[in-house]
A and B are shown apart, each in its own frame.
Chain A
Amino acid sequence: MSTTTANDTERHLNRRGFLRVSATAVGGLLVALHLDVPAASAQEGAGQTPPPKKDYPPAAFVDIRPDGKVVIQVNRLEFGQGVQTALPMILADELDADWSQVVGELAPAAEVYKDPLFGIQMVGGSGSIAHSFQQYRELGARTRAMLVAAAAKRWQVAPEQCRTQESVVRGPGGQSARYAELAAEAARQPVPTTVRLKQPSEFRLVGKGVRRLDSRPKCDGSLKFGLDLDLAAMKVAVVAHPPVFGAKVRSFDDKAARALEGVRDVFEISVTRGGTGVAVIADKFWPAKQARDLLKIEWDFDGVERADSSRLLEQYKQLARTTGLISVARGDAKALEAVAAANRIVAEYEFPYLPHAPMEPLNTTVRFDGDRAEVWAGSQFQTLDQMAVAEVLGLKPEQVTFHTEMAGGGFGRRAVPDSHVQREAAQIAKRLRGTPVKLVWSREDDVRGGYYRPMHFHRVEIGIGADGMPAAWRHVVVGQSIVAETPFAMMMKDGIDPTTVEGVNDTHYNLPNLHVSAHHPKVNVPVLWWRSVGHTHTAFVMETLIDELAARAKADPIAYRRKLLNPEAKKLRSALDLMDARSAAWRRRLPKGHAVGISCHESFGTGVACAAEVSIENKRPKIHRVTVAVDCGLAVNPLTIESQFQAGLGFGLSQLMAKGAITLKDGLVEQRNFDGYVPPYMPDAPVAVDVHIVPSAEAPSGCGEPPVPVISPAVVNALTRLTGKRYRSLPLVAV
C-alpha cells in the first residue's frame, strides 16, 4: 500500500536526498536541505501510516489557553485550499478538543514546521494532508495523553480510566477538569513516545463536512492578508522591472518622481535573471505607483535574449520532430513503423505560457535591524524565502523572523525557488534599515513578471492495433524545465525534468511499446509550477487522444478507458466507476445541441474522473453540468474536497479562455492586466458541479491540484462531438 508519500514529485527523490544550491543560484551560499523519506513499510491498520522519523513537540503546535481556546499552529500557508481548517481538525479530533474553541494559526518559519517528507516548510504538490495527516494525528494524541496524565496525577487514578471529550477530561469517579485548567500541568508531563490513534469509527471531525474556520473574517473584511499589513512607520515600495527579463538599468531620471509628495527614495536594485530595476519608496502605495510612472528609465538590453512566442512555437515544433532525452523506452522501438499509415494518428499540441494571477498581488514586508530582520509574507516556501532574505541581509536564517500571512491565492506562484520577490524586498529593507517596508507588485507587475507555466509542444504518434487499442505510442514533449538550476534540480532524472513528463511517462493506461522523450529548451522567460504542473498539459493530450481512439474504435469513451487502464490503477478505476454511475442517467438524456465529454486522470496520488455536459452558446463552450468523482483515500473534510473540485474545475477552465494566455513578442509580454489576460468569470463557470468521493480508508492523498487537469480535456472532448473538430491548441481562441 502506498504511504502518505503518494506525491509524484517525491517519487523522484532518493531515499535521503540533499538539495544543494549552486553557487550561482544563491550567491556562493551552499545550502543543504535534508529530505527525509520515511522507510516504506506496511500499512498498520486502517488510516494508519508509517510514523514520520521526527518527534514533533506538541508544545510547538498546540497552545491551550486559559480561556479554553485551543490554538493550533498550521505548518503550511493557507491560500484557499482549506489547510488552516483541515490540519487543526485532524489534531483536534485526536485531542478530543471542543471544535468551537479551536483556532488555526499560520506558523512562522521554524525547523519544527518543516514538511515531514520534504524537510522544508512549504505547501505544494497537494501534499499538506498527505504528508501531515499522521503528524497532526500524533500531535493531537500526544497532547491528549499529556492532559490525561496531568488529570490522572491530580486525581490519583490510572490514565486508562480517564475519558476525554470536548476539551474535558473525566475521571472514573465523576471527576472532571477542563483542558484549560490542566494545560499548565500537562505541559510539564513527559511527551509520550508512543500513542494510540483513533480507529476511523471514533473520528468525530475527520471524515465529516466541517465548515472552514476562516469564513466569517473573510466575509466581513476583518481578515488581514499580507497586502493589508500596516506597521508603524512603514513605507511602501514598488519596483520598475525591466520590460525584457534580465535587462539592466543603464540610467534613470527620477526628478519628476521624487518631486511627488510622499515619495521618499528612488534607487536601483537587482531583480530576477540578472536584471536590475528601480525601486520607488513612498509613504503609501498610490504616490509610489505614480512616482514609478514618472520615472524615465534607459534600459540596457545588451546580450539579453528576447523570447518571442511565435518564434518559440516554430522552434518547439521542429524540436518535437526529433527524439529528445529518453524518459520511457518500453517494448519495441520499431513497433510504430509496423503499423500501416492508415492506422496511425499523428497529433501535435500547443500550449502557451500561463500566468497564475492570484487575486492578491505579490507582496512582502521586511524590516532590517542590523543583526535581526523580520519578514511578513504569504509564502508557500518559508524555509527558502527565509534563507534568501537572510542571505541578502548578510544574516543567518535564525536571525530572520518569518511570519506567514494569509494569502489571496497562490496556485504555485508563491512557491518560488529563487525567492525573487523576497530578495527585492530584502534589498530595499537593507537600504531603509530600521524602517519596515512593504513591497507591492501591481497587477501589471504580476501579469508581466514571468514565472509562468511554461509553453509546451507535444508531438504524439500512435499506432492503432487491430483491436482498436493503441499498439505503439511515441511521445515527444518540448518545454522549459522548471526545476533545472534551482534547489530542486536534484529531481531531474537523466536530464529530464519529471514535472514536464508527469502524466505521460507514468500513465496508467496500458500502452505497449511506449516511447517518451523530452526536450528542455533554455529560454529567457522564468517559469514555475502552475497548479497541477505537468498534468496541466499532459492530461489534455492524453485524454483527448484516448477519446479520439475510442471514437475510432466506435467504443464508448468510458468503456474504452476501463479496458485500457492498467488493473493496478485502482484509484482511477474507482473514480471512473463512480463517475459513470452518478452521471449515467443524465448522460443518456442529453438535450439537442448538448454533448458529454469524458476524462480521467490521476495526479498527486489522487484519481479523478469527470463527465461534462457542454453546448455551444455565442461561439463559446457553455458547461451545463459536471459530474466528477474522486478517489483520494480517506476524505478528511468532504466539504472542503467538494469545494476544491467545484472550484478547481473552474480554475482549470483558465486554460480554455479565449484570452487565457501570456504571449511574448520580441521579448515583451503582450498582456498587461485582466483586460489582456482574461481568467474565467462566473458566466464561464459550469452551471452545476456534483462531486462524489469514493469511500476509502486508505491514507489520504491531496485534492488541491487533481481537479485541474481533467476539465479542459472533458470540455474539449464534448466540443469535438458537437463540431467534429479537434482542438489541439490552447487557449481555445475559437470553437
Chain B
Amino acid sequence: MPHIRAAGLLIAAVFFVSGSWVIVSGALGQARDAQRTAASRTEGLAAWERVYSVLTHPRCINCHTATNYPQQGDDRQRHFANVVRGPEGKGVPGLNCASCHQESNVDSTGVPGGHNWHLAPLSMKWQDLNDKPLSSAAVCRQVTDRSKNHNMDGPKLLKHHEEEALVLWAWQPGRRPDGTMRTLPPLSHEEFVAATSRWVEAGTPCPQGR
C-alpha cells in the first residue's frame, strides 16, 4: 500500500528528525549545560551570598535561633518576657507565640504577625548558642541538608522562598510600637527569589570552609 508506506516513511522521518534533533539538541544542550554549570558554580556561589545576606538579616534570623528563645529587634536582643521555644517552636501553654502574635501585623500596637507565627526548628538554626550568626558555609550546608530541611530539594527551597507566609513577612514586617517601620532585608523579595533561583539552577553550591 503506497500511502501507508509513505506514512511509515514520514513517521520514521519525523522520528529520525526529532530523534536527531533530540540528539543534536541534547549534544548542544550538554555543551551549553557544561558551559552553564561551569560558569554557574561561581555564579551560584555569588547568588548564595546574596541569599545568605537576607537569611542573616534580623527579620529572618531572629527566629532561626539555636537557643530556646527568639530574638527581636535590629539589635537582635533576646525576646522580652522570657518567651521560650517550647516543644514545637510555638511557645508553651500560657505563653504561646499566639498569645501576642496574630495572623497579620497589628500596626496600631506594633506587634508583628503572620500565619502560623512560630520559631524555625533547631535543625534550621542559623546562629550559635552565643547568638552569633553561623558562617555562610555552615548555613548553606544546613539549608541544603535534606535530612534537616524537611526534605526540600532545590526547587522546593525556591518555592519556600517564594511562597511561605513567614518568609514573605520579612518584607512586610509592620510597624514597631513607636510607629517606625521595621527595617527590611538588604534585597527585595523579587531579588531574593531571583538569587535563590540562580543558586538553585547552579545546583545549590555551598562555599568551602567551616
Contact = CB atoms under 8 A, between A and B. Distances in A.
A and B touch in the complex (CB under 8 A): yes
Interface of A: 674-675, 678, 681-683
Contacts of A678: 80
Nearest to B82: A681
A681 B78 CA distance: 15
Closest 5 CB pairs of A and B: A675-B80, A681-B82, A683-B82, A674-B80, A678-B80
Interface magnitude class on chain B: under 10
Nearest to B129: A618
Interface string B67-84: 000000000000011100
Nearest to B81: A681
Contacts of A675: 80
Contacts of B82: 681-683
Main secondary structure of the interface of A (DSSP, over half): loop
Nearest to B67: A618
A668 to B, nearest CB: 14
Contacts of A682: 82
A683 B82 CA distance: 8
Contacts of A674: 80-81
Nearest to B178: A672
8 contacts: A674-B80, A674-B81, A675-B80, A678-B80, A681-B81, A681-B82, A682-B82, A683-B82
Contacts of B80: 674-675, 678
A232 to B, nearest CB: 30
A517 B159 CA distance: 72
Given A678-B80, A683-B82, 6 more contacts: A674-B80, A674-B81, A675-B80, A681-B81, A681-B82, A682-B82
A356 to B, nearest CB: 20
B82 to A, nearest CB: 5
Nearest to A684: B82
B109 to A, nearest CB: 11
A683 B81 CA distance: 10
A631 B80 CA distance: 38
Contacts of B81: 674, 681
Nearest to A290: B108
Nearest to B179: A293
Nearest to A674: B80
B94 to A, nearest CB: 11
A683 B78 CA distance: 15
A674 B79 CA distance: 12
Contacts of A683: 82
A674 B82 CA distance: 12
From A674, A675, A678, A683, name the one whose CB has the most chain B CB atoms within 10 angstroms: A675
A678 B82 CA distance: 11
B150 to A, nearest CB: 30
Nearest to A675: B80
A683 B84 CA distance: 12
Nearest to A683: B82
Interface in B73-120: 80-82
A675 B82 CA distance: 11
Nearest to B72: A675
Nearest to A293: B179
B12 to A, nearest CB: 76
Nearest to B80: A675
A680 to B, nearest CB: 11
A584 B80 CA distance: 38
A8 B118 CA distance: 53
Nearest to B79: A675
A567 B82 CA distance: 46
A117 B169 CA distance: 63
Contacts of A681: 81-82
B65 to A, nearest CB: 14
Interface in B47-80: 80
A682 B82 CA distance: 9
A674 B80 CA distance: 8
Nearest to B68: A618
Nearest to A678: B80
Interface in B140-198: none
A678 B83 CA distance: 14
B89 to A, nearest CB: 19
A681 B80 CA distance: 11
A370 to B, nearest CB: 40
Nearest to B73: A675
